[in-house]
């Protein structure tokens, strides 16, 4: 009996210290209603156990409610960011005289594949000069590929690497040239081509493309440089990448 009484006293002391610490901490904030009735000193050990379990359940409920509120706040923030992104994309498209296309609305018929909101055909089995490659694409009602941003370029690279999964040493014509005015690179659409990384590669790891002057006036995806763009003589034979 002495041992049990001693254990009871120790347990009561620990609970009192625990409650006093909690009350001191809560006193630093705004006062709030007690969530549990006051502890009675003449309660049994079973009663103390029930009290602690109830207190633990209450704290867990508070934590769960806080986590739920945080989750809802994050979801609302994410939804707002998505709306801001879409609005910025729409504004950017309108500035360039375009309208944003819903990718789900783009329908590509064989042998074309939908890539980034356009339809593409990479004819690896074909070998053409740059001018002949344009004629090949025109036979499908298309033109040599062109792009204006890194996202579309990345999508095109993914498509090209998917078609050429065997990593054949085949270069791919795109619709860019500076034949009209040296070093003024234009797409076949008449738009200026992007310059520098991440679009153009390097030769031997240091010579930034394009760099060959009047001898190389057509743009190609160079297989040996992971399909970054290089300039080549327009008379080279490469596979056409068509877009419509």
Q: How large is the average pLDDT for residues 10-19?
A: 51
Residue 133 DSSP symbol: H
In three-state secondary structure terms, 118 is strand
- Residue 54: predicted pLDDT: 73
C-alpha 199/C-alpha 204 separation (Å) is 16
C-alpha 191/C-alpha 194 separation (Å) is 9
Closest by alpha carbon to 123, among 168, 83, 93, 92? Answer: 168
**Contact predicate 127/239, CB 8 Å:** yes
- At 92, the pLDDT band (50, 70, 90 cuts) reads low
C-alpha 131/C-alpha 134 separation (Å) is 5
Q: Residue 209: which residues within 8 A CB-CB, separation 6 or more? A: 200, 201, 202, 203, 228, 229, 230, 231
Q: Does the pLDDT value for residue 127 go beyond 80?
A: yes
- Residue 25: predicted pLDDT: 44
Question: 3-class secondary structure for 58-94?
Answer: HHHHHHHHHHHHHHHHHHHHHHHHHHHHHHHHHHHHH
- Residue 172: predicted pLDDT: 98
Domain ranges of the chain: 2-95, 107-243
Residues in the chain, how many? 244
CATH number of the domain at 107-243, out of 1.10.1660.10, 3.10.100.10, 3.30.450.20, 3.30.1490.190?
Answer: 3.10.100.10
**Contact predicate 187/193, CB 8 Å:** yes
Average pLDDT, the chain: 80
> Which pLDDT tens digit goes with each residue over 22-41?
444 444 444 444 544 555 54
C-alpha 207/C-alpha 202 separation (Å) is 5
C-alpha 214/C-alpha 211 separation (Å) is 9
**Residue 174 CA from chain centroid, whole number:** 25
Residue 41 DSSP symbol: T
Closest by alpha carbon to 152, among 111, 114, 196, 203? Answer: 114
> Which pLDDT tens digit goes with each residue over 157-200?
999 999 999 999 999 999 999 999 999 999 999 999 999 989 99
Cα–Cα distances in Å, from 167 out to 164, 171, 223, 225?
A: 5, 11, 8, 12
């Amino acid at each position: 009996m002495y041992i049990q009484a001693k254990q009871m006293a120790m347990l009561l002391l620990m609970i009192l210290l625990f409650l006093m610490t909690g009350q001191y901490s809560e006193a630093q904030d705004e006062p709030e209603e007690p969530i549990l009735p006051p502890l009675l000193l003449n309660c049994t050990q079973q009663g103390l156990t029930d009290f602690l379990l109830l207190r633990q359940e209450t704290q867990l409920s508070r934590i769960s409610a806080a986590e739920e509120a945080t989750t809802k706040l994050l979801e609302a923030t994410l939804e707002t960011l998505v709306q801001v992104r879409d609005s910025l994309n729409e504004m950017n498209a309108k500035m360039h005289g375009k309208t944003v296309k819903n990718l789900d609305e783009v329908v590509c018929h064989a042998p074309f594949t939908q890539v980034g909101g356009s339809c593409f055909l990479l004819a690896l089995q074909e070998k053409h000069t740059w001018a002949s490659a344009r004629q090949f694409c025109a036979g499908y009602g298309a033109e040599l590929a062109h792009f204006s941003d890194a996202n579309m370029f990345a999508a095109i690279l993914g498509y090209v690497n998917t078609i050429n999964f065997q990593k054949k040493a085949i270069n791919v014509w795109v619709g860019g040239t500076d034949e009209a005015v040296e070093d003024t690179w234009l797409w076949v659409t008449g738009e200026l081509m992007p310059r520098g990384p991440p679009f153009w590669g390097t030769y031997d790891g240091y010579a930034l493309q394009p760099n060959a002057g009047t001898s190389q006036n057509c743009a190609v995806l160079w297989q040996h440089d992971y399909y970054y763009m290089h300039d080549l003589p327009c008379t080279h034979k490469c596979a056409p990448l068509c877009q419509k």
